[in-house]
Amino acid sequence: MSNQTAVTEFLLLGFSDVRELQILHFVVFLVLYLLSLVGNLLIFIAIDLDHHLHTPMYFFLMNLSVLDLGSVSVTIPKSMVNSLMNTRWISYSGCVAQVFLFAFFASADYAILTIMAYDRYVAICQPLYYETVMNRRACVQMAGSAWISVFLYSAVHTGNTFAISFCGGNMVDQFFCEIPQLLKLACSGSVLSELGLLIFSLFLCLSCFVFIIVSYVQIFTTVLRSPSEQGQYKAFSTCLPHLIVVSLLVDTSTFAYLKPIFSSPAARNLMVAVLYSVLPPMMNPIIYSMRNKELKSALSKLIGWRLFIKN
């Protein structure tokens, strides 16, 4: 049975069939969405307007904010509309778009975090070569390479997923279209190529994670050898937020994709999906601005300037 002719739309998993709970879900997701949008927009605008923050670290942080904005905008709005309109459907093309965009933003997020780990490694372990290695052209090339390669990867991933035949109906056991849940609907024997690609993706993610861990082992070893307490504090204040963001993304994603998806209860699928699709984009601006004096100063100036103009 061909998926192009048999499946014209998918049904997403709803949080509840009770109307009052649907409205509550809409309100909660609206609050989470607005927090994510405002936080990441403030980070982006503050860095863009403050010339003191035009450094490689903050350049990559701007990229991360854009990716987080895109990530939450792929999944949350459709779920909010479905709850508000008391419906669960998503068109075939809409599902394809969700799979592609979510894979793109999530993978690019991980790629940028890996580049940021390399940036911190060069800044702390090889400070004499930092301006040469991490010059403006090199930063743009690294970010551009990450975006382009992830775009191609997501296109192959999405095309491979929707090339399979769906014999298990059109009910997606999630509040947005994602590859593991779509594979549950596939005909037996038609998912081998996509499973192979998923294993390859896991290998890539594991390689990036090992690279980040090795980088931070070198960083912390160098920092602890430094006799300057002020230098140690500055290094930790810039590295710890990044390490926390990486841990948050890896932990939630690992918990989501290593659980048995073919037998997981629907309620647990929903809760886990909220953890890895909504929580990281919302928490990243808070984590990065918590101990970073330069960023907090830029945000204070931005908010204060806006209030002054408004008054």
Q: Which tens digits make up the pLDDT trace of 261-293? A: 444 556 666 777 777 788 888 888 888 776 677
Mind listing the pLDDT tens digit for each residue in 17-49?
888 888 998 999 999 999 999 999 989 998 888
- 166 beta partners: 186
- CATH number at 207 reads 1.20.1070.10
Q: What is the pLDDT of residue 201?
A: 79
Q: Which of 287, 243, 88, 258 is nearest to 177 (CA)?
A: 88
Global pTM? 0.85
User: How far is residue 260's CA from residue 308's CA, in Å, rounded to a whole number?
Assistant: 53
Q: What is the pLDDT of residue 262?
A: 46
Domain count along the chain: 1
List Cβ neighbours of 14 (8 Å cut-off, separation of 6 or more): 22, 82, 83, 88, 175
Q: Which of 11, 249, 220 is nearest to 113 (CA)?
A: 249
**Residues in the chain, pLDDT under 50:** 1-5, 261-263, 308, 311
Q: What is the pLDDT of residue 8?
A: 80
Which DSSP string do the residues of 206-253 spell out, in sequence order?
Answer: HHHHHHHHHHHHHHHHHHHH-S-HHHHHHHHHHHHHHHHHHHHHHHHH
Q: Are strands 9-11 and 89-91 parallel, antiparallel or unpaired?
A: antiparallel
User: How far is residue 89's CA from residue 9's CA, in Å, rounded to a whole number?
Assistant: 7
Structural domain containing residue 19: 3-310
Q: What is the pLDDT of residue 3?
A: 43
What angle (nearest 5°) sits at the alpha carbon of residue 19, between those of residues 14 and 22?
45
62: left (phi over 0), alpha (psi -120 to 50) or beta: alpha
Mind listing the pLDDT tens digit for each residue in 170-180?
888 888 998 88
Q: What is the pLDDT of residue 263?
A: 47
